[in-house]
């Protein structure tokens, strides 16, 4: 109890100014808005390696030139399905990519992909890679 009383006394002895108190860790990160675009597609048999090389050599160089592009993560599940997650500064920039450059990407990947890819979009809530903390509710 004495420890707690001393702690309270110590806090009370300092003026209640925000700069005298440490900022909680969750408030130290600046709020960053990042938008994600998730594309899921089924790969044709035995094309996972070619798909990966095409992403690396043709798609990523094109994406890196686009305004608002931050990052791309490509996942391949046992050579049957691919998931591409691209990160953008804003929803508008992701939509601009979808309307102008994405048709070219589809043409590049057409010989490796079966059917129509499924596209989902969302705000990124947390990311250690992009140093994003969840927003206060």
Domains of the chain plus CATH, in order, are 30-123 (3.30.70.100)
Joined together, the tokens standing for residue 28 give 């130290």
The per-residue pLDDT for 10 is 37
Q: What distance in Å separates the CA atoms of residue 116 and residue 69, rounded to the nearest whole number?
A: 23
User: Which residue bears the tokens 């440490």?
Assistant: 22
Note the pLDDT tens digit of each residue in 92-132: 999 999 999 999 999 999 999 999 999 999 998 887 775 55
Note the pLDDT tens digit of each residue in 6-16: 433 333 344 44
The per-residue pLDDT for 33 is 83
Is the pLDDT confidence value at 46 over 60? yes
Q: Is the pTM of this model over 0.75?
A: no
């Amino acid at each position: 109890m004495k420890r707690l009383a001393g702690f309270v006394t110590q806090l009370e002895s300092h003026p209640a100014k925000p700069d005298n108190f440490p900022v909680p860790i969750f408030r130290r990160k600046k709020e960053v808005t990042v938008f994600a675009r998730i594309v899921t597609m089924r790969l044709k048999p035995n094309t996972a390696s070619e798909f990966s090389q095409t992403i690396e050599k043709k798609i990523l160089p094109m994406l890196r030139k686009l305004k608002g592009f931050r990052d791309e993560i490509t996942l391949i599940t046992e050579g049957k399905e691919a998931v591409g997650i691209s990160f953008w500064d804003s929803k508008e920039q992701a939509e601009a990519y979808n309307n102008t450059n994405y048709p070219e990407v589809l043409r590049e990947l057409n010989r490796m992909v079966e059917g129509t890819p499924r596209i989902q979009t969302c705000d990124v809530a947390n990311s250690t890679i992009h140093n994003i903390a969840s927003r206060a509710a």
